[in-house]
């Protein structure tokens, strides 16, 4: 699958500086005469839009939003066939605009606009007929944009308008920042040294109309080393010094004259410039089999597994850390391999913990308004489900298997990624994209069935084999499922079929998933085999590696390119995993 992230998803002014997890999709409506989608949520969201090919469809994700009801498909007709709305994963509601065969839209003309932070419209341009037969190569403007590959120390990834100013999100090391002001021309240039700009950000021209900034432009200055320049057109009456400060959280904070840098710098304990009641986190301590987080006043929180780092993350908005907290965490070392306390630029405290070897997080709850409790338990292989929960009444769930939450963690490992696209087959079909799509669906389906899932990668990035294994070990994964697609010489389209591999303790898991997948693939059964793959040898839990089919195969390739088929594969893999868990309770 090829993705095209839309520029317009970065253009909106209601950007939130950290994800919220509490919103619900209240209503949505597609206006056929205007080609416009209206979305209303009950809390702030930041929609993300992308165009996906094969088949062509526009996907609008609402991170931190739950649908709270069954998925629906609304037929439209014509070049826009239907709008689908469903829960993509535990934290994301997804709206999909499906285009008729042979049609596409210009992703640059998709406009995602916020009326308010919880009311959005998505303007969809008139679909156009694709020129020529193959949509894969017909129009060069739809090629996915590659990241800049020069070796600068820092990459500028995004520009966000925050409550206080701007936040320039960066990856890599913390850049040196220079601010140049030209009062006569009402221009402010913020230059990040030794920094490249992602291709999506290059040439970004954004109307801000906030904080005295009329608009901003992003450009790459091709010096050696390169410089990322953010040019602001500012109001004339906004005299005084603009400030730009690099933080150690991966970003640069830009504040208008009179703004306060100190309140935004991570780990600062000063007051927020906004008159909001701030909760102080006074203590984090181990008490029996639980970690207690105590505050000086009532608070709310959200929690999530940060899948890229394998950490459990608790976010407390409008909060600060007490000074004495820094040295009170020594006894946590016995149950946690790491604790990170972060103060974000929007006054949220993030507590990020990784359980130590042999420890799992069982549940999180708030026994009183000023205490948060994180319940822990020893991880053992025998800790497989005993209680029953009602069957998930969800059309997208993989079956009626019931597994209580919090005891089992499945590491789902989409192979390859980034520069390593894996196997390349018929029509340029790439393994890395196929397996990421399947793996993400497996993770979402597991979560829907009450089983925690951790993905070793959640986007198109390059990750070595070793960190994949380390992540599974860090979260004490119960099972490890690596997902791949096969390839052989392009001259052998006759070779097709499913193969499943294991090394040590994974044989039964391999057989169970393989049996579950066979009726879906329908193609040749190439068997369950033992192999010394790195991720199978180095993982301590039962581990399998699935080769879902051949991207070079005449039978397999068109199926693997089909989204509905990949969904059936994901459902079958999930069924196999759940079945294995049940058999081993
Ligand atoms: Zn592979």
Catalytic site residue 431?
no
- Token couple for 327: 């040295």
Q: Is the pLDDT of residue 140 over 90?
A: no
Q: Identify which of 149-158, 258-267, 279-288, 415-424 has the greatest average pLDDT.
A: 415-424
pLDDT digits (tens, 9 = 90+) for 348-393: 888 888 777 667 777 787 777 788 888 887 654 333 332 222 233 3
What's the rounded mean pLDDT across residues 389-401?
Answer: 30
Biggest CA pair distance of the chain: 75
The reported pLDDT for the residue numbered 141 is: 28
The reported pLDDT for the residue numbered 569 is: 97
For ligand 1, the distance from its centroid to the CA atom of residue 414, given in whole angstroms, is 9
pLDDT digits (tens, 9 = 90+) for 159-197: 877 767 788 888 888 888 998 887 776 888 999 999 998
Please, which pLDDT band fits residue 260 given cuts at 50, 70 and 90? very low
Place of tokens 């390059």: 462
Nearest Cα neighbor of 80 from 104, 62, 61, 54 is 104
- The string of DSSP letters for 462-509 reads ---HHHHHHHHHHTT-SEEEEEEEE---TT-TT---EEEEE-STTHHH
For ligand 1, the distance from its centroid to the CA atom of residue 6, given in whole angstroms, is 28
Q: Is the pLDDT of residue 125 over 80?
A: yes
What's the rounded mean pLDDT across residues 506-513?
Answer: 95
Please, which pLDDT band fits residue 265 given cuts at 50, 70 and 90? very low
> Looking at per-residue confidence, does 139 or 75 come out higher?
75
Neighbours of 184 (CB within 10 A): 7
Q: Identify which of 64-68, 93-97, 140-144 has the greatest average pLDDT.
A: 93-97
Place of tokens 């693997």: 560
The reported pLDDT for the residue numbered 238 is: 60
> Looking at per-residue confidence, does 20 or 570 come out higher?
570
Neighbours of 48 (CB within 10 A): 18
Nearest Cα neighbor of 454 from 479, 485, 427 is 479
Q: Identify which of 150-154, 212-216, 359-363 has the greatest average pLDDT.
A: 212-216
Q: Is the pLDDT of residue 14 over 70?
A: no
The pTM (predicted TM-score) of the whole model is: 0.38
> Contact, 504 vs 565, CB < 8 A?
no
For ligand 1, the distance from its centroid to the CA atom of residue 498, given in whole angstroms, is 13
For ligand 1, the distance from its centroid to the CA atom of residue 308, given in whole angstroms, is 20
For ligand 1, the distance from its centroid to the CA atom of residue 117, given in whole angstroms, is 41
Catalytic residue among 98, 157, 191, 547: 547
| Calpha distance 11→113 (Å, rounded) | 8
For ligand 1, the distance from its centroid to the CA atom of residue 476, given in whole angstroms, is 24
C-alpha distance from residue 282 to each of 267, 279, 328, 341, 347 (Å): 14, 9, 10, 12, 16
For ligand 1, the distance from its centroid to the CA atom of residue 422, given in whole angstroms, is 5
Place of tokens 């969201």: 45
């Amino acid at each position: 699958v090829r993705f095209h992230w839309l520029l317009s998803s970065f253009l909106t002014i209601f950007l939130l500086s950290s994800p919220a997890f509490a919103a619900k999709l209240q209503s949505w409506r597609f206006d056929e005469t205007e080609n416009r989608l209206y979305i209303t949520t009950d809390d702030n969201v930041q929609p993300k839009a992308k165009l996906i090919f094969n088949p062509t469809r526009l996907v609008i994700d609402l991170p931190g939003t739950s649908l709270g009801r069954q998925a629906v498909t609304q037929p439209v007709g014509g070049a826009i066939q239907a709008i689908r709305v469903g829960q993509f994963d535990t934290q994301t509601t997804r709206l999909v605009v499906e285009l008729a065969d042979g049609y596409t839209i210009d992703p640059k003309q998709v406009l995602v606009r916020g009326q308010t932070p919880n009311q959005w419209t998505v303007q969809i341009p008139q679909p156009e007929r694709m020129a020529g037969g193959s949509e894969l190569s017909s129009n060069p403007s739809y090629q996915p944009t590659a990241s800049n590959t020069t070796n600068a120390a820092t990459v500028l990834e995004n520009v966000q308008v925050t409550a206080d100013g701007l936040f320039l999100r960066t990856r890599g090391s913390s850049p040196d920042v220079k601010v140049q002001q030209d009062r006569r021309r009402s221009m402010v240039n913020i230059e990040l040294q030794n920094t490249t700009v992602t291709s999506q950000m290059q040439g970004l021209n954004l109307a801000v109309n906030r904080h005295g900034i009329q608009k901003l432009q992003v450009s790459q200055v091709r010096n050696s080393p390169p410089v990322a320049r953010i040019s602001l057109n500012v109001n004339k009456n906004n005299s005084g010094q603009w400030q730009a400060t690099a933080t150690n959280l991966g970003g640069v904070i830009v504040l208008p004259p009179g703004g306060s840098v100190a309140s935004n710098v991570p780990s600062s304990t000063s007051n927020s410039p906004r008159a909001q009641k701030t909760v102080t986190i006074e203590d984090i301590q181990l008490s029996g089999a639980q970690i207690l987080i105590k505050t000086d006043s009532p608070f709310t929180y959200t929690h999530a597994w940060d899948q890229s780092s394998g950490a459990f993350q608790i976010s407390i908005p409008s909060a600060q850390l007490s000074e004495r907290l820094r040295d009170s965490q020594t006894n946590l070392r016995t149950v946690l391999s790491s604790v990170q306390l972060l103060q974000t630029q929007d006054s949220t405290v993030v507590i990020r913990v990784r359980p130590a070897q042999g420890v799992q997080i069982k549940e999180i709850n708030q026994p009183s308004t000023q205490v948060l409790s994180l319940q822990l338990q020893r991880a053992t292989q025998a800790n497989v489900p005993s209680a029953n929960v009602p069957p998930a009444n969800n059309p997208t769930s993989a079956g009626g298997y019931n597994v209580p939450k919090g005891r089992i963690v499945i590491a789902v490992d989409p192979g390859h990624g980034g520069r390593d696209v894996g196997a390349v087959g018929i029509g340029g079909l790439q393994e890395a994209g196929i397996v990421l799509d399947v793996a993400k669906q497996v993770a979402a389906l597991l979560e829907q069935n009450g089983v925690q899932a951790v993905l070793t990668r959640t986007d198109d990035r390059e990750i070595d084999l070793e960190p994949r294994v380390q992540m599974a070990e860090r979260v004490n994964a119960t099972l490890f499922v690596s997902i791949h697609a096969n390839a052989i010489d392009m001259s052998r389209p006759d070779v097709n079929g499913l193969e499943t591999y294991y090394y040590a303790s994974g044989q039964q898991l391999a057989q169970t998933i393989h049996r579950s997948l066979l009726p879906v693939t329908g193609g040749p059964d190439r068997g369950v085999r033992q192999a010394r793959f790195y991720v199978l040898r180095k993982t301590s839990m039962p581990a399998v590696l699935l080769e879902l089919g051949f991207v070079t195969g005449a039978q397999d390739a068109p199926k693997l390119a089909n989204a509905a088929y990949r969904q059936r594969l994901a459902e079958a893999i999930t069924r196999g995993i759940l079945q294995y868990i049940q058999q081993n309770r």
